[in-house]
Structure 1
Amino acid sequence: MTATESTTAHTAISGSNILLVSDPHPQVSTALKDDYSAYVLPTDPAERESFLAEHGADIRVAVCSAMAGVGTELMQALPNLEAVMNFGVGYDSTDVAQAAERGIVVSNTPDVLNECVADSALALYLDALRQVSAADRYVRAGKWESEGSYPLTTRASGRTVGIVGLGRIGAAIAQRLEGFGCTIEYHNRNEKPGVPYRYHSSLVDLAASVDVLVIAATGGPESRGLVGAEVLKALGSHGYLINISRGTVVDEKALIAALQNGTIAGAGLDVFENEPHVPEELRALDNVVLQPHVGSGTVETRADMASLTLENLRSYVSTGTLVTPIS
């Protein structure tokens, strides 16, 4: 969807036409309360049903976090919805297919989080290969003194790294890894012109060619289970997987099996299939680094994301257009 304007003629929007679906950031929720007196969607199921029955037809704009989104059922309960303001670059929790059919425009917050997400990917990369977190646990448990030196780990510099999804974030990750003397290869739906990295049309071929596979692909139905058992087998027993995109891009059961049986050496994960649930099998493994979906989680970046979400809201309320519509 590339339209920046609703197909509905733009008329004045008041707070009773705006719904805060989920609270993505205090700056956003405060502005919606103080500047618009917007509605807040109840969390209790019975209260939510009652609210939607009474006010659903009034709502023209929804503001949500990327994790909550405006899903199929909620969107259907908002028959006059015109626009969704999405706090986050990913929008796979929003029913964009229904939005396109109904002419509902959707915004996100691109670019402002690229650097911090790329930093997180690099942190996971270094931790997975050099086992920083596992070594920290080793020291805290008193094992250095009782069992001696920590086992040798894997060199992080000079590796061949495959990036799945060489978009804005993927490119920022590649730039950082070049600083470590790494060779970059990549897989996209299509080869990107002017990119100096080797392109693989097959994800399995990319995995077989690299030491580390970094997932920076867009989430959603098209990429669900993109990295499965075949890809992990191709990555091999000395290979590592880093995922900072969406948990659904990786077949989580296949990943757990690959980590347990040595099909791959290790992983660094910021995202999971059914967040915030992280399988006990993953939590029990020492060859995987786990983060609670905090790739963009810095004070500075979240403030920038909040500002851009509110820019989109104010632009739509005043002119019927979005600053950063999804494409």
Structure 2
Amino acid sequence: MMGGMKTTSPKKPLCLLLVALADEYKALLHERFELIDAPTAALRAAAIAQRGAEIELVLSNGATGLRAEEMDAMPRLRLAAAQGAGYENLDVAAAKARGLAVCNGAGTNDSCVADHTLALLLASVRALPQQDRALREGLWRDALPLRPSLNGRRLGVLGLGTIGRKIALRAQAFEMQIGYHNRRPRPDAAADWAYFDSPRALAEWADYLVVAAPGGADTRHIVNAEVLAALGPQGHLVNIARGSLVDTAALAEALAAGRLAGAALDVYESEPRPPEALLGFANVVLTPHIAGWSPEAIRATVELFIANVQALDQGQPLLTPL
């Protein structure tokens, strides 16, 4: 300090955080932004009402989203971001109509989700929760039914995006045959991956079906009673995408009637409430929308958000624009 004059740091941009983050990841944001931590509906409404005129950045996720009227209440908003790959409840059209930058966290947790998917598939097919329970109750293997293995089986991947592709590559390491359905064949699919032009056709071919397509109105209940019937009584269903893609009532009905061998789900139509219709089935494995969560993945999503803000500030293209 010279001549009695003070030097002041540039004012940090105000960022509204709409998702719950551990302190160590929020610290990364605090270094660069003034942060409003608003992970609940009440805190969110209060933050927008009290400081909407100052907010420049919003970090949300696909389930939490950001509505058009909320954007309208933030005249200085420059960037609306989804933390992960999904952005189904982020009003991208409204943001673009206002000239806002919009991005997501594509690629940050793909490997984590793919790892969890194979864990769910193994848990369902090999009945790991049931076998754990049986052993604790004093039963040995001779009293338990034999469970199939993965090798040589047909895995159908419904949605061959970046996550679906990583799932398929991992399944290949288990010597599984790979088939997939997408809106169109993928040029980056391996030559021996079979393409099917509908979810039903894929399910008819597959032994096990993994749901990895985006959420939204276009894919709601894409796995319905017809698709489950095509998968058949020896089939297993895994959903790591969005709960809306699977008709929960149809799934419960198929399981109750013995028309499906098992299911493993990380996402639900009812979340964050558990899927009541599925809780009574011993052949259903449930995890709390945790497939994309690991220390590495969460840090990567925060670092990517910061990198997108830096690109915006420098007049450069966003790294993961929508």
Q: Is the 8 A contact 2:14 2:33 kept in 1?
A: no
Name whichever structure is richer in helix by fraction.
1
How far is 1:103 from its partner? 2.5
TM-score, structure 1 normalization: 0.87
- In 2, the alpha carbon distance for the partners of 1:166 and 1:82 equals 32
More divergent stretch after superposition (50-59 vs 207-216): 50-59
Q: 1:263 aligns with which of 249, 259, 284?
A: 259
Distance 1:72 1:150 in 2: 55
Deviation of 1:156 after TM superposition, in Å, equals: 1.9
TM-score (norm 2): 0.88
Matched, 1:24 2:1: no
Using the TM superposition, give the Cα deviation of residue 35 of structure 1 relative to its aligned residue in structure 2, in angstroms: 3.0
Distance 1:223 1:321, change over 3 A: same
Aligned to 2:117: 121
1:40-92 deviation digits (Å, cap 9, x = unpaired): 337463x6545423322332311123432223443343344331122111111
1:290 paired residue number: 286
Partner residue, 1:207? 203
**C-alpha contact (below 8 Å) 2:238/2:263 kept by paired residues:** yes
The one-letter amino acid paired with 2:30 is K
Separation of aligned partners in 2, 1:169 and 1:44? 30
Separation in structure 1 between the aligned mates of residue 236 and residue 87 of structure 2, nearest angstrom: 27
Match of 1:189 in 2: 183
Cα distance in 1 for partners of 2:227, 2:36 equals: 46
**Paired residues of 1:25 and 1:302 also in contact (CA < 8 A):** no
Determine helix, strand or coil for the equivalent of 1:305: helix
Equivalence for 2:220 = 224
Determine if the alignment matches structure 1 residue 159 to structure 2 residue 136.
no
Asked if 2 retains the 8 angstrom alpha-carbon contact of 1:23 and 1:64, the reply is no
What's 1:4 paired with? none
Q: Percent identity?
A: 37
Separation (CA, whole Å) in 2 of partners of 1:179 and 1:32: 38
Note the residue ranges of structure 1 that are not aligned, 5 or more in a row: 1-12
Counterpart CA distance in 2 for 1:53 and 1:16 is 18
Cα 1:79/1:37, change in 2 over 3 Å: closer
* CA distances 1:233-287 after superposition (whole Å, capped 9, x unpaired): 1111111111111111111111111112112111111111121111233121111
RMSD, aligned α-carbons: 2.3
Q: Identify which of structures 1 and 2 has the higher relative contact order when contacts are C-alpha pairs closer than 8 Å and 6+ apart.
A: 1
Cα contact 1:24–1:87 (8 A) shared by 2: no
- The answer as to whether partners of 1:28 and 1:310 remain within 8 angstroms in 2 is no
Unaligned ranges ≥5, structure 2: 1-9
